[in-house]
Amino acid sequence: MYSPKFTINSAILRYIGKIEASKEVIENAPLVPAYEAKFRQEAIIRTVHHGTHIEGNPLDTGEVAAVLEGEKVDAKDRDVQEVLNYREVLKYIDKSQSHKESKSQRARESKFTEKDLLTIHRLTVDKVLAADKAGKYRVGQVVVKNSKTGQISFVPPKAGEVRGLVGDFLKWLNSGEALDLHPVLKAGIVHYVLAFIHPFVDGNGRASRAFATLVLFSEGYDIKKFFSLEEYFDRDAKRYYATLQSISNQKVKSLSERELTPWLTYFCQGLAEELERVKQKVQKLSLDSRLKGRTGQIMLSERQVKLVEYMETYGSISNSQWRNVLRDFSDDTILRDLKDLQKKGLIRKKGSTKGAVYILK
């Protein structure tokens, strides 16, 4: 059976520590539902855009958002279809996640299956590849070439080895050894191994990343679905491919002999950086934890959140100060927001109208 070879070095430990710290903040941040929905939708757009862009899709973020909203864009049919397909892959991951979470405790039952992999691939290449190649293992040899130079950078295993390699790997993925492994490391291993085996004629990168996401989410690391690891990969695609290739070019005989530490270090760094970015954004928009504990989940507008955060930071806010914080809005609008916050029992007013200041209760 396959068994991964790697060392948990100080860098990996540091990145996983940062991942856990960010996860704790994000999952417990007292965001109002409207912001949570907004964060998730933004993450979907970023994941679909960067997950396809890294493979050569030319649509920008705005065009991807438009396609997902059902709008027409001036683009090739294939490019639009790839975007729609990746959204369907994310829907499949969402649908599968809760099922796999409940399934994880059942003995003698595989949590991650060949059906998952083949379904993810079929959805990835729907109407892009011929139907007899979608969700089907390749029957011929493929090579990975540098798109600019045309040079062959990697030769995957022979087609006749694919089914056996995938089956052997899935046995490990559902084994006790894998069960004891940290989910982030497990997802990183999944990403690399499937990319190396290259089971399909096309769409291997997207399928590998999606299956790794399925593993991550199913192991309790969906982290409210606020993040996009694909964006990290795409921001420096040259490094992403070079790190994968450095492992694949090792002069060893078997998949189990490949030293994965450099790849896992890179993978953990990516998730740590992405979650740190999300954490900072969440902290900026969330209410103070003591406020949530006292009042429960309260729906506030973005303007009201800014007003409350200013009062939390500086103790109070005056007329001149709120005019500076919310310059693009009229006095009447802001005064209505402040009055609503008073009704909700979050703030109180001190002083006369012109010299009034508002403080948290």
What amino acid positions are annotated as catalytic residues?
A: 198
- Tokens representing 188 are 């990183």
Rounded distance, CA 138 to CA 121, Å? 12
Residues in the chain: 361
Rounded distance, CA 110 to CA 103, Å? 8
CA dihedral 137, 215, 2, 161 (to 10 degrees): 10
- What values do phi and psi take at 306, rounded to 5? -65, -40
- Tokens representing 88 are 């369907």
Residue type, 308: V
Rounded distance, CA 64 to CA 48, Å? 7
Rounded distance, CA 129 to CA 126, Å? 6
- Tokens representing 312 are 């939390």
Q: Which residue has the tokens 């998949």?
A: 255
DSSP symbols for 62-122: HHHHHHHTT---SS-HHHHHHHHHHHHHHHHHHHHHHHHHHHTTSTT--SS-HHHHHHHHH
Q: Which residue has the tokens 């990697």?
A: 154
How many other CB atoms sit within 10 Å of the CB of residue 201?
19
CA dihedral 215, 219, 220, 221 (to 10 degrees): -40
How many other CB atoms sit within 10 Å of the CB of residue 355?
9
